[in-house]
Amino acid sequence: MRVRMDLKYADLGLIQPEGGAEVGERCTPGDVDRRVPHPEDPRGLVLIDRHSGENFTFETEEELALFKYQRYMKRYLATIHAVDENVARMLDWLDAEGLAENTIVIYTSDQGFFLGEHGWFDKRFMYEESLQMPFLIRYPKAIAPGSVAKAIATNVDFAPTFLDYAGLPVPSYMQGRSMRPVLERDAPEDWPDSAYHRYWMHKDEHHNAWAHYGLRSHRYKLIYWYNSDLGQPGAHGPDEPPEWELFDCETDPLELVNVADDPDYADVFDEMLAQLDARMAQIGDVPEHDSSAARSARRAA
């Protein structure tokens, strides 16, 4: 979903000329919120603010693209600022009531949004901007203020952590582990050193993200784009050719260079692939790749 081409009227708080769903409303087939046009010559285009009625006109295509980006960023960051302000109000209240010491407060979310990186908005991809999510916790009774845990955790670890702190048993069907020892600086030696990710809704109706899975270690990231709907509801064909990506997140933090076919990274590819196979077997996820074929292809290259 590209900032330049795919933002919709509701995304930018603009009036859709022929009507359409209001902000926050669910669109119906006859009332679809559509993309804001992006003509090469936008001089005849007028965009109207949904709340103030202000008109916006443009002389060049680049001017229109910058307008979309700036408006998207300002609306997004205003929302984040409002969340931050109200978290602060809650923390201040706990302090004022003398409850902070023995109250657990967790600030987290789902995956991060692209804010123009690679030209994109939204999320779903395994690239760094949307793979990472915030997880901040305040519990002065047990967690040192200002401490930072370097261990890798994923959202399947959240529920076991909450249950652990609440003194409740963690059901055996949960895949994650409690982060409590990590947060309290007593991480076990067998704590996982990688994170598994899967997105299966291939070419879904609203986002057109392609299906993939992969593994992120402290330094490397291996992604397999299997690019198939696998007959799953919510995913759509047609399928596309599969593809491997490998990134060295230390030397290439912006993930601009795919080294999956680089002979210098052949051993890294094999090691990450072995770890990916082991993780998928551990959690019972069915691989779509052929590991032997993948290794042979890279050795031949």
Of 51 and 30, the structure prediction assigns the larger pLDDT to 51
**Closest C-alpha among 280, 197, 196, 199 to residue 234:** 199
Q: How many degrees, rounded to 5, is the angle at CA 233 between CA 36 and CA 293? A: 100
Phi-psi region of 122 (alpha: psi -120 to 50; beta: other; left: phi over 0): left
| pLDDT single digits (tens) 229-250 | 999 999 999 999 999 999 999 9
**C-alpha neighbours within 13 Å on the C-beta side of residue 255:** 18
Alpha helices in the chain (DSSP H): 3-6, 61-96, 128-131, 158-165, 180-183, 266-283, 291-300
For residue 245, what is the enclosing H or E element?
strand 243-248
Per-residue pLDDT at 301: 66
The larger pLDDT score, comparing residue 299 to residue 258, is at 258
Q: What is the pLDDT of residue 111?
A: 86
Q: Which domains does the chain have, with CATH numbers?
A: 193-301 (3.30.1120.10)
DSSP tag of 86: H
Question: Average pLDDT, stretch 121-140?
Answer: 93
**Does residue 199 register a pLDDT over 80?**
yes
Rounded Cα–Cα distance for residues 75 and 14 (Å): 12
Return d(Cα 112, Cα 121) in angstroms, integer. 10
Helix crossing, 291-300 with 266-283: angle to 10°? 170
Residue type, 207: H
Q: What does the pLDDT read at residue 95?
A: 96
Q: Which residues does 261 contact at the CB level (< 8 Å), separation at least 6?
A: 298, 301
Give the separation between CA 88 and CA 95, rounded to whole angstroms.
10
Question: DSSP class of residue 196?
Answer: E
How many other C-beta atoms are found inside a 10 Å radius of the C-beta of residue 176? 16
The secondary structure of 144-163 as a DSSP string is: -TT----S---GGGHHHHHH
Contact indicator for 155, 110 with CB cutoff of 8 Å: yes
pLDDT value at residue 28: 52
DSSP 102: G
Q: How far apart are CA 117 and CA 112, in angstroms?
A: 12
Lookup: tokens for 7: 């933002």
Average confidence (pLDDT) over 205-222:
94
Tens digits of per-residue pLDDT, 170-190?
A: 999 998 999 999 999 988 999
Count of C-beta atoms within a 10 Å radius of residue 169: 8
The pLDDT, as a whole number, for residue 20 is 59
